[in-house]
Amino acid sequence: MFDQASIARRAPYALALLRIVSGLIFMAHGTQKFLGFPDGERAGAGLAFDSLGAFAGAIEFVAGALIALGLFTRPAAFLASGTMAVAYWYAHAPQNFFPVNNGGDAAILYCFVFLYLVFAGPGAWSIDRPQANISAD
């Protein structure tokens, strides 16, 4: 369907889609904690602002927004990746050995997607990377 060169030229755009979607969904976890939006089981959990959950929610909101925009992508992704590693080992792993049973599969996935962004950078359509650096094909 596509030759290797054609696929390679589109890689920065696929990376950008991964970054934008991951950042927006990550940000939604923060808005759910603080704003009760989107409404769900955990919405408006009434977190005290000195709790670890509130700290994680702030990182989810701010880092998610920065990642989605492609602004300070690498440091924001590094912070988000570490936060998800801590969230997994602190909140999920003690419940059960298997991530699918302890509810930590999303935390693991976020951790490694964001770790990948630390090394890969933001891709196309980001504030960090001027569009002139991306091939036009």
Q: Is 130 left (phi over 0), alpha (psi -120 to 50) or beta?
A: beta
Whole-number pLDDT of residue 36: 83
Report the alpha-carbon distance of residue 132 to residue 55 in Å, rounded. Answer: 37
26: in domain: yes
* Residue 48 lies inside a defined structural domain of this protein: yes
Residue pLDDT, tens place only, 102-121: 999 999 999 999 999 999 99
Can you say whether the dihedral through the CA atoms of 31, 35, 36, 42 is positive or negative?
A: positive
List the alpha helices (DSSP H) in 1-137. 4-35, 52-69, 73-87, 99-102, 105-120
Does the residue 41 lie in any domain? yes
Per-residue pLDDT reduced to its tens digit, 27-59: 999 998 888 888 865 555 556 555 888 899 999
What is the spatial distance between Cα 14 and Cα 25, in angstroms, rounded to a whole number? 17
Q: Is residue 78 included in any domain, yes or no? A: yes
State how far the Cα of 80 lies from the Cα of 74, in Å rounded to an integer: 10
pTM of the predicted model, to two decimals?
Answer: 0.87
**Domain presence at residue 104:** yes
> pLDDT tens digit string along 56-111?
999 999 999 999 999 999 999 999 999 999 999 999 999 999 999 999 999 999 99
* Full domain range(s) for residue 109: 4-132
> What does the block give as tokens for 122?
């933001």
Q: Would you say residue 137 lies in a domain?
A: no
Other CB atoms within a 10 A radius of the CB of residue 73 amount to: 26
- If one counts the domains in the chain, the total is 1
Residue 46 lies in a domain: yes
pLDDT, position 50:
58
Task: State the residue for tokens 């936060």.
Answer: 83
